[in-house]
Amino acid sequence: MRNQGLGSWPARRTRMSPDKVALTHCGLHRTYRDLHIRTNRLAHALAELGVRRGDRVAYLGANHPALVETFFAAGALGAIFVPLNTRLTAPELRHIVEDAGAEVILLGDGHDGAGLPGRHVLATAYEDLLASGDPAPIDEPVTHDDPCLIMYTSGTTGRPKGAVLTHGNLLWNTFNLLVDVPLAHDEVTLVSAPLFHIAALAQTLIPTVLKGGRAILEESFDVAATFDLIEAERVTVMFGVPAMFTFLAQSPRWPDADLSSLRHLLCGGAPVPEPLIRTYQERGLTFLQGYGLTETAPGALFLGAEHSVAKAGSAGVPCFFSDVRLVATDGSAAAPGEPGEVHVQGPNVTPGYWRRPEETSKVLSDDGWLRSGDVGVADEEGYVRISDRINDMIISGGENIYPAEVENALYGHPAVAECAVIGVPDDRWGEVGKALIVLRPGRTEQPGDLVAHLDGRLARYKIPKHVELVPELPRNAAGKLLKAQIRARYGTS
């Protein structure tokens, strides 16, 4: 095949296991042969709509086989896939579509594309579009250096930027994952995190297709449905952000749920509270975590299963084909135990932001080191804990406070369901910590009880001077806390 990119994977997998089920959605099963033929048809149909090599093809919708088919069809044409976040507002989506210059937008159920430029294909017309396409294979020459997708960063502050990921970036990320996670040919992968974020796409779906496993596509995460699917479908692999795993562990079904089929639980997207890791380990489950960014496709650090207990709470060591260094504020290498900005280099690192050379030059050095904007601390053996975002760091009386460290300590209290720590102005110290806490159902602890829990666990200057109990905390579709919204709402003492 001339196509060395991911768009050729349905064809390559069909050569090996045509009758194996590739995708399951709402009880409908599609084999790899089905995926191959439907991808061919869609690619031909998109070409009839004018899509050519290098053109951008967007998809707006929840997890669905059509999203997967669009991803592979774009790759078959040498076009560039642009997944759109369904939780964004119409103006935010319009900015992304215009910035990417998408030629065609395929729309999932419940989306009409109102206000968005470009040619639209509604969900109701999708099957007709496929039927119009030729099932014959397409073998466009695509290299590992060609762009595969543009994934826009979450945009929690400022307008989102499109991180370009090449076919090679995604391929090497898959290699990195498979070095650490021994996925088998019979995996049943539950994909309930949104595929418009890089972790669900690149850490679950793409590796599952490479190995010939089955991906169960859920349109959204639901606690009851997750337990039902694990038990009924004998799910073996699941990715989730910490909030998803927290909700499962807090469910009344947790103590008695049949989780015996699970082989690998992958967690990322935010620092993972250590008590949460212990909760899963106590059930005898292999709880794996790592660290990465959209710009690294996404894996940069990973904590292998053999160290998941001894190094619980760490994001691990650099992935096999990646390098990571921690850089102190003066530009020197951070010593063990000293905070430093995480820099990443490797074949999985983005070549840059779409049409943003100035933004690219701010984060990507000439020799390929990506500045993450995250703070990490390595131990003597090189295992890195991610402390926080640089911009989230609190400077109180000249001392640096990393909110994630304080949040992790708060999660050790049995009454705390969710928490976030931010900096607020203070006349004496310049800035002090403020904790926003969501209590577990039925708990009645007061702020003073939670502050007392931290005494002796954290240095006094790290203990929040203000604690407020709140009904909920805002999160984005990836489950990350929206610290900008939290600061805007609660950022006064």
What is the number of alpha carbons within 13 Å of residue 326 lying toward its C-beta? 24
Q: For residue 158, what is the DSSP state?
A: S
Tokens of 486: 């939290």
What is the set of domains in the chain, with CATH numbers?
6-142 (3.40.50.980), 175-390 (3.40.50.12780), 393-490 (3.30.300.30)
Stated pTM of the model: 0.86
**Helix 9-16 with 65-77: angle, nearest 10 deg:** 110
Q: How far apart are CA 254 and CA 231, in angstroms?
A: 12
Q: Could you give the strand order of the β-sheet that contains 214-217, starting from the edge strand earlier in sequence?
A: 28-31, 21-25, 214-217, 188-191, 237-240, 264-267, 287-292, 299-302, 317-318
DSSP state of 119: E
Q: What are phi and psi of 272, to 5 degrees?
A: -95, 120
How far is residue 170's CA from residue 187's CA, in Å, rounded to a whole number? 20
**How many Cβ atoms from other residues are within 10 Å of residue 452's Cβ?**
13
3-state helix, strand, coil in the chain (%, to 5): 35, 25, 40
DSSP β-bridge partners for residue 335: none
Residue entry with tokens 């203990």: 463
Q: Is the dihedral of CA 340, 345, 349, 355 positive or negative?
A: positive
The residue among 431, 355, 363 whose CA lies nearest residue 398 is: 431
Please name the amino acid found at residue 381. Answer: E
Q: pLDDT 10s per residue in the chain (493 long)?
A: 999 999 999 999 999 999 999 999 999 999 999 999 999 999 999 999 999 999 999 999 999 999 999 999 999 999 999 999 888 878 889 999 999 999 899 999 999 999 999 999 999 999 999 999 999 999 999 999 999 999 998 544 457 899 999 999 999 999 999 999 999 999 999 999 999 999 999 999 999 999 999 999 999 999 999 999 999 999 999 999 888 998 999 999 999 999 999 999 999 877 778 888 999 999 999 899 999 999 999 999 999 999 988 998 899 999 999 999 999 989 999 999 999 999 999 999 999 999 999 999 999 999 999 999 999 999 999 999 988 777 788 878 767 787 888 998 999 999 999 999 999 998 778 889 999 999 999 999 999 999 999 998 888 889 999 999 999 999 876 677 888 899 999 998 6
CB 418 within 8 A of CB 475: no
